[in-house]
Structure 1
Amino acid sequence: MRFGKIEYINLLPFDVFMKAYPMTSGTKKFLQLKKSYPSKLNKDFLFKRIDAGFISSIAGYYSYLKDKTTDSGIIAKNSVWSVIIIPNTESEDYQSATSNALCKVLNLKGEVLIGDRALSYRYKGGEHIDMGEIWYKKRHLPFVFGRFCFNAYGDFYKNISSAFNQKKIKLPHYIIMQYSKKVSIPKKYILQYLEHIYYKIGPKEQLGLKSFYRELLFKKIKKPTRF
């Protein structure tokens, strides 16, 4: 089993959950092998170099059509803090196809910045526009930035998703402090940020995804493909 892991703060709760999830040590080891940023995992997923992972919503479109998705995702209702536009020359973030597409959907101009780098920039007081906030003002729907999709072992990953959605995760102090040191952001700020993120996909989140996918078709924004 090859699981693609995004190395961002917003998936800390899932990482902690997986460490406690009942499975063999060998399986857990395999689930930790493939680590990268979202757009790289998109390619690995589309080429089936990984069996599952939290895939950018734009790349998860094909899994959505094939019903190879779970009910877990990376979701924000209103401001998200870590997907922003900063006032630089217009440019995309190489790490996230979904955020680049969302920028076009929202007709925003500037440099796209995501993940821990965006969170650090915001913490330092940098001028920015929060794309999650703009989306919510226009659509009144949550935005699903990534979705837990699979190519194989569907029942196994659906069971993990179901258990994760039902679990209230408490992050150990030492893990938060490890990330705090790594990204130079205080523990308190990380915890405040995580209050803006949730993971269970329900009816409103499904509507948010469908609205985003309609906009991609309307604006003729290309989705990542194998070729």
Structure 2
Amino acid sequence: MLKIGKIPYTNLYPIYYFLEMTSGSKYEFIEGVPSDINRLLREGRIDISPSSSIEYLRRPEKYILINNHSVSSEGPVGSILLFSRRPVETLGGFTVLYTHQSETSAALLRIVLSRFYQLQCSLKSSGLPLEEGLRNHSAYLLIGDDALMEAHKSPNLYIYDLGDIWYRKTGLPFVFALWIANRGAGAELKSFITDLDEAKDRALKDLPKVAGTCPFRKWLSEKELIAYWKKLSYDFDDKHRQGLELFDSYIREMGI
């Protein structure tokens, strides 16, 4: 039985909703935040996952890339957000926190601050809540549902969407995650890809149904959920590949 990494974020909920519905008990789903799922895949403790794009870029020889699937944005993503007590242009010389949950977003933050804004900042990984983290630091990068929830509160802060900044600076999508498999996944991989293709197709055709079942509706309406999902791209075409290759060139150039 294949072990599938499951990231419990709103962005992937539509895919998992139909994947679990259609696959029955064919797969074992192992839950964790992106950094944990990356590690489990790297260690061979799971077979397939939607892993951080930087995990694939660092070890392409280790994985099989599943074509036509990603979690990307072409513009604002809504859930990779830098919350700041001051304008981003004035962050030079200050310490910026970033969530410990994601390696790709941390790398993107370094690119945004250093390359796009030419700022020299000290970056520090953190697991603190937003309010506590900003007591002694100028800015804090959150991802996923934490970012969505804090933005929904409309705090009296500057909020910068890193997907939007990337797109405005490069004109290309940013690929946050890729579906990848360990090379030892075996013959079952082909069947899984068929199930994943079907799950994506069904999700994109029936977002209102998915929104009605989403457990994250405590602080997002169905309309807001659908609007968020429509900001995302679950595909991986030539434009996405160009964006991924540019990201790869930046992290290599900067030694990230």
- TM-score of Structure 1 vs Structure 2, range by shorter chain: 0.7 to 0.9
Matched residues in 2 for 1:3 and 1:78: separation?
29
User: Comparing 192-201 with 65-74, which one deviates more in the overlay?
Assistant: 65-74
Residue correspondence of structure 1 range 190-209 to structure 2 within 5 A: 190-209=225-244
**Counterpart residue number, 1:149:** 180
| In 1: Cα distance, 2:44 partner to 2:191 partner | 17
The answer to which structure has the higher strand fraction is 2
Is contact 2:16-2:199 (8 Å) kept? Answer: no
Aligned pairs (5 A) from 1:1-227: 1-21=2-22, 23=23, 25-28=24-27, 30=28, 32=29, 34-62=30-58, 64-65=60-61, 68-71=64-67, 72-87=69-84, 89-107=95-113, 110-126=139-155, 127-151=158-182, 152-153=185-186, 154-167=189-202, 168-171=204-207, 172=209, 173-176=211-214, 178-181=215-218, 184-221=219-256
Contact 1:17–1:169 (8 Å) recurs in 2:
no
Matched to 2:235, the amino acid is K
Residue 63 of structure 1 contacts residue 149 of structure 1 at CA under 8 Å; is this kept in 2?
A: no
For 1:101 and 1:63, locate their aligned partners in 2 and report how far apart those are by CA, in whole Å: 16
Decide whether the 8 Å contact of 1:74 with 1:146 is kept in 2: yes
Contact 1:74 1:145 in 2 (8 A): yes
Q: 1:94 to 1:68 in 2, by over 3 A?
A: same
Which is further off, 85-94 or 166-175?
166-175
Identity %: 27
Looking at structure 2, the residues matched to 79 and 118 of structure 1 have their Cα atoms a distance apart, in angstroms, of 13
Aligned residues: 213
Matching residue's letter, 1:211: L
TM-superposed CA distance for 1:40, in Å, is: 0.7
How far the C-alpha of 1:11 sits from its partner, in A, is 0.7
2:56 maps to a residue whose letter is: G
| Unmatched runs of 5 consecutive residues or more in structure 1 | 222-227
Q: Give how far 1:62 is off.
A: 4.5
CA shift digits 1:143-188 (9 cap, x unpaired): 1100000011342333334434544341425413x2212xx22222
**TM-score, normalising length: structure 1:** 0.86
CA distance in 2: counterparts of 1:69 and 1:159, whole angstroms: 14
Amino acid of the structure 1 residue aligned with 2:237: G
Deviations 1:10-58 (A, max 9, x none): 011101221343x4x3314x1x3x1111011011111111100100011
Question: Deviation of residue 135 (structure 1)?
Answer: 0.2
Contact 1:73 1:147 in 2 (8 A): yes
Deviation string 1:54-95 (CA, Å, 9 cap, x unpaired) is 000111225544561112110110000100111155112111
Q: Gaps spanning 5+ residues in structure 2: where?
A: 86-94, 115-120, 122-138
Please say which of residues 165-174 and 82-91 is displaced more in the overlay.
165-174
What is the distance in 2 between the residues matched to 1:66 and 1:20? 30
Provide TM-score, normalisation by structure 2. 0.77
Q: Does the CA contact (< 8 Å) of 1:63 and 1:69 recur in 2?
A: no
Distance in 1 (CA, whole Å) between partners of 2:238 and 2:200 is 14
